[in-house]
């Protein structure tokens, strides 16, 4: 009886098909906070002062200047100043929680509240693995990372630019990336932000996939909109944001700050600046379309004062990450931050320590959307195959951690104490038999072998082990089934757009 | 802590040594004083430049490369150097001395990453180059206009995005079309670039970081000077 139950549970996990089901993360633990209420207020006030007195520079995008002017901000040239009342009037219109559609309805995301969503690395122009080292990324690599993402139960979203496919012409790349996300995974994906036209293409593809009405109701595309700190936004980002906001799609508004260069060296000033920039972008989205789902973003590294390179996992970054979460909660907004960051080029000890030093606070802060959760190397210049696998192990650990300590009657294991009594072991008790499979997180990559066994089996370190794991994952991968008619329509659009782009047409004349 | 030092009691060699220390410490006024003192001894402005300022900044550059100095310290040193240069520049022009070199630098169109480019500009200035920093998101037209206006020996381009890297080629082609390509040495940099890319777009060199950019520019400047002397 029991055995049959267990077997059926196994079938439920989907392991028979080789593609593990996604494991959602709802954080049951108290969040770590580093500011008291006065601290949050102090940062808020400083941001309001920055927005009112220093202002934000909006470069090369007159439509945004016009929008701000029309809604009561002071505009002069490319400078915008906005007061607290006007700003907060719009910021308040953003939802505290929202959903993002996924092709597989069970993978549709809830963003906000106590949910944490892990998404893979975004943006690197290079890939690296143990066999071939660092090299320019190709579409094949993009496909591989999409497949690995699909195969990782702790990655809830498909992400965006998993790698920059450098073998595809720049102007068409976004089409191939979107098509790969949609066909190779069934998780929620991110749209292109490299231009307003590309954002439009992303929306069109989501319309083909889900239907225009469906994505009006619930967003299907998430755009990553960066401020160009300090206190500056540019036309590309605001142009893409405008497309997404008007189409009712979602955006992460992130001031990506390397403190010391793009903000003052002190965390108080950096947080105030970050907060001002994020709220400015969020306010803009609401001015365009009230209720636009947005995520309050923070990506805070600091400069290495000796070389100018970004540093990760530093104590200052960690403090700011927690404080950012508090600010997002103060405004009732979902929060994006963190990931598995490192400046290291290979998954060595530095990479491990730095990544762990960012991932733990990311989770403990109550972060809702975690980009770069797997695969990040060399300050975001490399998507690492082995790093992806090792990071995923940590994500699994986090998924377990946030469940906290269960205090049900059975958790006190009175029957086990009665059965075993003092001085004996619990390995065979009925209570253990009921729970052993799930009681402890089961490592996928980290090895607990003793020295002799490890030596006998070839002294594989985790780097090498991870190399075998991703290869196996790619072997086990199975494409999630897709309606052939939808696939055909998507392909037709991509080919139509490709031809348009090659003919020098900037904007799609695709109906709808 | 600087103890009062009577510059007039020093030999020119000692002056240069003090100038080097002042540069290292980022003492702007002191560097200017030193330059003026040297000039008052009828030392050729070009000698003050090369044996005084440039030599002093070389130590700064080396210590930055070796991780001894912090970025803000190098910035202070570069500013002190610039102040010294401001005194020397008109005299150098008068005496017809060869200049260290002039660079127009910018981040290419579509790209707004500028921390690395600014670091390069700072180090170049520190090494005695005249730098015209165009800023971010610069079109080929802007580069061309700047080259025509400033007549630089170097064009520096920065790109951090694989999507904007190809635009460097557009700028190089525009330089060719305008007949300006042979006048300038084109140096390119940015994290996703490499030697092969620089070669493919027919730039003169790829620079991995700010220190290498300075070294490379100096190398090209020396070749130019040799050629000029030979012809
Ligand atoms: C003679 O001429 C020369 C010579 C040498 C030269 C030279 C010129 N230029 C540079 N050098 C050399 O010398 C310098 C000093 O030693 C060195 O300069 P570097 O610039 O390499 O080094 C600096 C000292 C420190 N490094 C940096 O400043 C860059 C760091 C990273 C993290 C980075 C930052 C900070 C930013 N970003 Co951006 N950003 C990344 C970068 C990842 C990385 N680790 O490089 C990268 C480059 N970004 C990326 C992306 C995707 C983006 N970014 C964007 C925006 C931004 C910020 C505005 C937030 C910010 C820049 C702010 C600023 N004022 O510069 C967006 C694009 C905006 C745009 N239109 O340009 C956006 C598209 C993200 C988005 N969705 O919003 C990725 C590029 C992928 C690709 N396509 O190639 C990226 C690798 C990170 C990632 N994984 O996503 C050398 O390269």
The continuous run of DSSP H or E covering A98 comes out as strand A98-100
The protein residue with its alpha carbon nearest to ligand 1, atom 81, reads B161
Query: Chain B contacts of A234, Cβ < 8 Å?
Result: 112, 137
Query: Chain A contacts of B110, Cβ < 8 Å?
Result: 236
Query: Chain B contacts of A262, Cβ < 8 Å?
Result: 115
Phi/psi at A359 (nearest 5 deg)? -70, -45
CA distances from B159 to A77, A256, B106, B114 (A): 27, 18, 9, 9
A258 lines ligand 1 (CB under 6 A): yes
Half-sphere exposure of A461 (CA within 13 A, CB side): 8
Ligand 1 atom nearest the C-alpha of A194 is 73
CA distances from B91 to A463, B20, B216 (A): 61, 21, 27
Cβ of residue A259 closer than 8 Å to a chain B Cβ: no
Phi/psi at B155 (nearest 5 deg)? -115, 125
The continuous run of DSSP H or E covering A245 comes out as helix A235-246
The protein residue with its alpha carbon nearest to ligand 1, atom 59, reads A256
Percent of chain B with pLDDT over 90: 85
Tokens of A461: 């370190």
pLDDT one-digit tens code per residue, B104-128? 999 999 999 999 999 999 999 999 8
Q: Domain A1-404+460-507, what fold? A: TIM Barrel (3.20.20)
DSSP character string of A395-462: HHHHHHHTT-----GGGG-HHHHHHH-TTS--TTSHHHHHHHHHHS---SS-----HHHHHHTT---H
Q: What whole-number distance in Å separates Cα of residue B159 and Cα of residue B167? A: 9
DSSP letter, residue A126: E
Cβ of residue A381 closer than 8 Å to a chain B Cβ: yes
Gap from CA of B122 to ligand 1 centroid (Å): 18
Closest CA to B54 of B153, B123, B126, B154: B126
Instruction: Report the residue from B72, B137, B210 with minimal CB separation from A305.
Output: B72
Question: Is A308 close to B71, i.e. CB distance below 8 A?
Answer: yes
DSSP letter, residue A54: I
Phi/psi at A212 (nearest 5 deg)? -65, -40
Q: What whole-number distance in Å separates Cα of residue A53 and Cα of residue A511? A: 45
For residue A303, the chain B residue with the least C-alpha distance is B71
Question: Is A234 close to B69, i.e. CB distance below 8 A?
Answer: no
Question: Is B115 close to A303, i.e. CB distance below 8 A?
Answer: yes
Neighbours of A155 (CB within 10 A): 27
A122 lines ligand 1 (CB under 6 A): yes
Q: What whole-number distance in Å separates Cα of residue B156 and Cα of residue B167? A: 13
CA distances from A260 to A136, A378, B116, B221 (A): 30, 19, 13, 33
Query: Chain B contacts of A59, Cβ < 8 Å?
Result: 137
Q: Indicate the pLDDT class of residue B95, thresholds 50, 70 and 90.
A: confident
Mutate to test the interface with A, among B69, B71, B120 (most CBs of A within 10 A): B71
Q: What's the pLDDT score for residue A9?
A: 39
Q: Which residues pair with B206 in a beta bridge?
A: B188
Cβ of residue A138 closer than 8 Å to a chain B Cβ: no
Q: What is the CA radius of gyration of chain A?
A: 24
Query: Chain B contacts of A258, Cβ < 8 Å?
Result: 115
pLDDT one-digit tens code per residue, B168-223? 999 999 999 999 999 999 999 999 999 999 999 999 999 999 999 999 999 999 99
Cβ of residue A123 closer than 8 Å to a chain B Cβ: no
Question: Taking the mean position of all CA atoms in its chain, how far away is CA A167?
Answer: 25
Q: Are B155 and B103 in contact (CB under 8 A)?
A: yes
| Average pLDDT value over all residues in chain B | 93
Ligand 1 pocket, mutate which of B71, B107, B116, B205 (most atoms under 8 A from CB): B116
B213 lines ligand 1 (CB under 6 A): yes
The protein residue with its alpha carbon nearest to ligand 1, atom 63, reads B113
Question: Is B162 close to A59, i.e. CB distance below 8 A?
Answer: no
Closest CA to A305 of B72, B54, B152: B72
Question: Is A303 close to B210, i.e. CB distance below 8 A?
Answer: no
Q: What whole-number distance in Å separates Cα of residue B61 and Cα of residue A240? A: 41
Tokens of A344: 């290291």
Phi/psi at A370 (nearest 5 deg)? -115, 100
Neighbours of B79 (CB within 10 A): 17
Cβ of residue A168 closer than 8 Å to a chain B Cβ: no
Closest CA to A269 of A463, A107, A461, A54: A54
Query: Chain A contacts of B210, Cβ < 8 Å?
Result: 308
Closest CA to A473 of A392, A372, A407: A392
Question: Is B69 close to A306, i.e. CB distance below 8 A?
Answer: yes
Closest CA to B190 of A125, A276, A252: A125
Cβ of residue A261 closer than 8 Å to a chain B Cβ: yes
Tokens of A107: 């993978």
The protein residue with its alpha carbon nearest to ligand 1, atom 65, reads B113
State the smallest CA–CA distance between residue A307 and chain B in angstroms.
7
Q: Are A138 and A175 in contact (CB under 8 A)?
A: no
Q: What's the pLDDT score for residue A1?
A: 38
Q: What's the pLDDT score for residue A18?
A: 67
* Domain ranges (residues) in chain A: 1-404+460-507
For residue A265, the chain B residue with the least C-alpha distance is B72
Gap from CA of B192 to ligand 1 centroid (Å): 9
Helix (H), strand (E), coil (C) string for A200-244: HHHHHHHHHHHCHHHHHHCCCEEEEEEECCCCEEEHHHHHHHHHH
Question: Taking the mean position of all CA atoms in its chain, how far away is CA B3?
Answer: 31
Q: Are A132 and A382 in contact (CB under 8 A)?
A: no
Q: What's the pLDDT score for residue A512?
A: 53
State the smallest CA–CA distance between residue A165 and chain B in angstroms.
9
Length of chain B: 231
Closest CA to A469 of A444, A491, A493: A444
DSSP character string of chain B: ------GGGS-HHHHHHHHHHHHHHT-HHHHHHHHHHHHHTT--HHHIIIIIIIHHHHHHHHHHHTT-S-HHHHHHHHHHHHHHHHHHHHHHHHHTPPPS-EEEEEEETT----HHHHHHHHHHHHTT-EEEEEEEEE-HHHHHHHHHHH--SEEEEE---TTTTHHHHHHHHHHHHTT-GGGSEEEEE-TT--HHHHHHTT-SEEESSHHHHHHHHHHHHHHHHHHHHH-
Query: Chain A contacts of B161, Cβ < 8 Å?
Result: 125
Query: Residue holding tokens 């549709």?
Result: A108
DSSP character string of A184-195: H--SEEE---S-
Tokens of A409: 């009657």
Phi/psi at A184 (nearest 5 deg)? -90, -20
Instruction: Report the residue from B70, B161, B191 with minimal CB separation from A305.
Output: B70
Gap from CA of B161 to ligand 1 centroid (Å): 7
State the smallest CA–CA distance between residue B220 and chain A in angstroms.
24
Closest CA to B143 of B105, B179, B177: B105
Neighbours of A404 (CB within 10 A): 11
Phi/psi at B195 (nearest 5 deg)? -55, -45
Ligand 1 atom nearest the C-alpha of B119 is 15
pLDDT in tens, chain A (512 residues): 344 443 443 334 334 356 789 999 999 999 999 999 999 999 999 999 999 999 999 999 999 999 999 999 999 999 999 999 999 999 999 999 999 999 999 999 999 999 999 999 999 999 999 999 999 999 999 999 999 999 999 999 999 999 999 999 999 999 999 999 999 999 999 999 999 999 999 999 999 999 999 999 999 999 999 999 999 999 999 999 999 999 999 999 999 999 999 999 999 999 999 999 999 999 999 999 999 999 999 999 999 999 888 999 899 999 999 999 999 999 999 999 999 999 999 999 999 999 999 999 999 999 999 999 999 999 999 999 999 999 999 999 999 999 999 999 999 999 999 999 999 999 989 999 999 988 999 898 998 999 999 999 899 999 999 999 999 999 999 999 999 999 999 999 999 999 999 998 877 667 65
Q: What whole-number distance in Å separates Cα of residue A487 and Cα of residue A182? A: 9
Q: What whole-number distance in Å separates Cα of residue A92 and Cα of residue A473? A: 44
Query: Chain B contacts of A125, Cβ < 8 Å?
Result: 161-162, 191-192
Query: For residue B214, what are the contacts with CB-CB under 8 A and spacing of at least 6?
Result: B61, B123, B124, B126, B127
Q: Which residues pair with A259 in a beta bridge?
A: A302
Burial of B85 (0-12, 13-18, 19+ CB in 10 A): buried
Phi-psi map region of B154: left, alpha, beta (phi>0 left; psi -120 to 50 alpha): beta
Ligand 1 atom nearest the C-alpha of B162 is 83
Question: Is A125 close to B192, i.e. CB distance below 8 A?
Answer: yes
Closest CA to A239 of A207, A286, A192, A195: A195
Q: What whole-number distance in Å separates Cα of residue B34 and Cα of residue B9? A: 12
Ligand 1 pocket, mutate which of A59, A145, A228, A345 (most atoms under 8 A from CB): A228
Cβ of residue A164 closer than 8 Å to a chain B Cβ: yes
Does the predicted TM-score (pTM) go above 0.80?
yes
For residue B211, the chain A residue with the least C-alpha distance is A307
Q: Is A362 helix (H, G, I), strand (E, B) or coil?
A: helix
Q: What is the CA radius of gyration of chain B?
A: 18
Ligand 1 pocket, mutate which of A202, A226, A255, A384 (most atoms under 8 A from CB): A226
Tokens of B224: 């130019």
């Amino acid at each position: 009886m029991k055995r049959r139950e267990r077997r059926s549970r196994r079938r439920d996990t989907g392991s028979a098909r080789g593609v593990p089901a996604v494991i959602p993360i709802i954080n049951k633990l108290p969040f770590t906070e580093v500011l008291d209420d006065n601290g949050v207020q102090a940062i808020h006030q400083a941001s309001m002062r920055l927005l009112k007195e220093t202002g934000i520079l909006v470069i090369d995008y007159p439509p945004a200047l016009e929008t701000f002017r029309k809604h009561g901000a002071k505009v002069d040239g490319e400078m915008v100043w906005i007061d607290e009342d006007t700003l907060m009037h719009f910021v308040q219109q953003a939802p505290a929680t929202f959903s993002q559609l996924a092709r597989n309805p069970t993978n549709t995301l809830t963003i906000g509240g106590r949910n944490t969503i892990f998404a893979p690395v975004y943006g690197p122009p290079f890939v690296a693995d143990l066999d071939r080292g660092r090299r320019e990324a190709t579409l094949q690599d993009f496909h591989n990372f999409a497949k690995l993402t699909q195969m990782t139960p702790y990655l809830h979203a498909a992400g965006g630019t998993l790698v920059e496919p450098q073998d595809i012409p720049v102007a068409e790349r976004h089409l191939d990336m979107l098509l790969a996300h949609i066909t190779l995974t069934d998780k929620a994906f991110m749209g292109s932000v490299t231009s307003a036209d590309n954002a439009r293409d992303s929306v069109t593809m989501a319309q083909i996939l889900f239907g225009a009405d469906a994505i009006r109701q619930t967003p299907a595309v998430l755009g990553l909109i960066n401020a160009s700190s300090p206190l500056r936004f540019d036309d590309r980002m605001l142009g893409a944001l405008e497309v997404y906001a008007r189409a009712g799609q979602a955006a992460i508004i992130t001031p990506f700050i390397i403190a010391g260069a793009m903000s003052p060296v002190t965390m108080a000033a950096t947080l105030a600046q970050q907060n001002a920039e994020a709220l400015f972008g969020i306010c803009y989205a609401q001015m365009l379309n009230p209720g636009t789902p947005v995520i309050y973003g923070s990506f805070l590294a600091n400069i290495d004062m000796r070389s100018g390179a970004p540093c990760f996992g530093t104590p200052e970054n960690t403090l700011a990450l927690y404080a950012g979460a508090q600010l997002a909660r103060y405004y009732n907004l979902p929060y994006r931050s963190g990931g598995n960051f490192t400046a290291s080029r290979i998954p060595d000890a530095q990479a491990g320590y730095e990544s762990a030093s960012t991932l733990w606070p990311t989770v403990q802060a109550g972060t809702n959307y975690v980009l770069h959760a797997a695969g990040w190397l060399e300050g975001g210049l490399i998507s690492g195959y082995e790093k992806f696998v090792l990071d995923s192990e940590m994500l699994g650990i986090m998924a377990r951690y946030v469940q906290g300590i269960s205090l049900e009657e059975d958790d006190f294991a009175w029957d086990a104490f009665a059965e075993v009594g003092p001085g004996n072991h619990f390995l065979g008790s009925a209570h253990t038999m009921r729970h052993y499979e799930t009681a402890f997180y089961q490592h996928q990559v980290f090895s607990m072998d003793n020295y002799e066994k490890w030596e006998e089996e070839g002294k594989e370190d985790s780097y090498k082990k991870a190399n075998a794991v991703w290869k196996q994952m790619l072997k086990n991968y199975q494409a999630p089934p897709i309606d052939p008619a939808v696939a055909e329509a998507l392909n037709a659009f991509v080919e139509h757009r490709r031809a348009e782009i090659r003919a020098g047409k900037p904007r799609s004349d695709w109906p709808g | 802590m600087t103890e009062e030092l009577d510059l007039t009691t020093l030999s020119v060699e000692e002056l240069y040594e003090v100038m080097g220390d002042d540069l290292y410490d980022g003492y702007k006024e002191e560097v200017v004083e030193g330059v003026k003192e040297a000039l008052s001894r009828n030392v050729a402005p070009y000698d003050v430049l090369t044996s005084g300022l440039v030599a002093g900044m070389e130590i700064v550059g080396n210590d930055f490369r070796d991780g001894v100095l912090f970025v803000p310290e190098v910035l202070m040193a570069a500013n002190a150097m610039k102040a010294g240069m401001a005194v020397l520049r008109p005299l150098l022009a008068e005496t017809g001395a060869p200049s260290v070199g002039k660079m127009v630098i910018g981040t290419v169109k579509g790209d707004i990453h500028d921390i690395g480019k600014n670091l390069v500009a700072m180090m170049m200035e520190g090494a005695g180059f005249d730098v015209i920093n165009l800023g971010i998101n610069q079109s080929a037209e802007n580069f061309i206009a700047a080259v025509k206006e400033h007549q630089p020996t170097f064009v520096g381009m920065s790109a951090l995005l694989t999507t904007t890297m190809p635009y460097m080629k557009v700028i190089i082609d525009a330089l060719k079309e305008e007949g300006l390509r042979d006048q300038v040495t084109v140096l390119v940099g940015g994290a996703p670039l490499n030697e092969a890319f620089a070669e493919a777009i027919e730039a003169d060199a790829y620079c991995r970081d700010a220190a290498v950019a300075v070294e490379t520019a100096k190398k090209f400047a020396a070749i130019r000077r040799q050629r000029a002397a030979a012809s």
